[in-house]
Structure 1
């Protein structure tokens, strides 16, 4: 979870390559075909060969509801588990994830264990345009933590955004975001009861 531009897609692909995962998109706009630039949709090259579900699959003129989203989630999660892949849900629409977690019909939180990671960047690091979105996003995630008691791991990615040059940014990414998240997911998978064997690359 996290505001646009904080590295959710990059992290999900990095985690998927380390843990033999497949990614299920939860961004309300990225599920639709087209809109690549408007939604900051991950490019084919950025996918690192990782399979992505619900990314540009739905026709833009269709009435794709939260319930439709939940049905697709179940299908894709079960596909991942059958093939011993780790399902990684990523995106900017907490409302879809919240619907999926809390809906009594789908019973997600009773069927599956969850590990939430929130990539956050302090307001002082972002430009003014992103700051408004960040504040709204932070309040939404804090509500999920406080009211719904979601166990969210909070990763502060300031160092990544304060560096200049690709090598320095990549090093900050590995140290500040990727390694802590790899450790979080590894601990989660060791305690999960879905018998997914952990294969780190």
Structure 2
């Protein structure tokens, strides 16, 4: 778990290439088909051959609830365990994770929670730069394909940050030939996307702290702030040392602790006996 932009998807692939694992997406916007740039879906190349579930599979016009996620994620976990693989649940939608864990899930599986954290001032700066990169990759054209004058921004994939913010630009674009006016409105829309993404990060952090401090979830906090403050090889080294290796060690202890093995009989040999729901 972790706020938007903290590196959750990257870590999930790191772990899935260190252990025999498959990834289950728990981001409520990334479950939908389409808007790959706007929803910041992990690319095929970035997946490194790791199987991903619940990623870009739901009709963009439909609603997908926490209950829907719980049912589909539970089914995916069962299928992954049958293949003797480790299920890794990854995403920023803490309401989905909470609904899943609060179902009968926790009574069936042991869970290891990894929380990737980045200091908010550092994260806000990164998020702003990331939005600029998304625009450069074609986000505006991508969202334009989903624009409709009577669109309902409270349903389906149109709830995603980046879609309602661009509405005024597309409306102006349809009747104004003034290049400067259109550029100004687009810049304002991009600023709103950055602001709303930063607000989302704050809300996600608040929910994570509630899960830890109020509900008593045992979360392994991974401070990735230095990764975002450094550049090039230093940033890569910081990620490897402070996030990737430490996470692998935590998951390894979770799976292979002798006391657990003695209690269950085997680490992954008994279906449902052990599972790392590393939701980050």
Tell me the TM-score normalized by structure 1: 0.90
Partner of 1:196: 268
1:150 aligns with 2:217: yes
Cα deviation code 1:3-52 (max 9, x no counterpart): 11110000000000101110000000000001111111100000010000
Tell me the TM-score normalized by structure 2: 0.66
Partner of 2:183: none
The structural deviation recorded for 1:131 is 4.9
Bigger Rg, structure 1 or 2? 2
SS at match of 2:222: strand
For residues 9-158 of structure 1, the aligned pairs below 5 Å read 9-103=9-103, 107-127=104-124, 129=195, 131-158=198-225
Q: Supply the RMSD in Å over aligned alpha carbons.
A: 1.6
Partner of 2:243: 177
The structural deviation recorded for 1:63 is 2.9
1:160 aligns with 2:227: yes
Runs of 4+ in 1 over 6 A off after TM superposition: none
**Structure 2 CA distance for aligned equivalents of residues 57 and 126 of structure 1:** 29
Unaligned 5+ runs, structure 1: none
SS at match of 1:195: coil
Unaligned 5+ runs, structure 2: 126-194, 270-280
Cα deviation code 1:132-188 (max 9, x no counterpart): 4333222111100122111110111011001112x2221111011101101110011
The structural deviation recorded for 1:117 is 0.7
Q: State the number of aligned residues.
A: 193
Structure ranking higher in helix proportion: 2
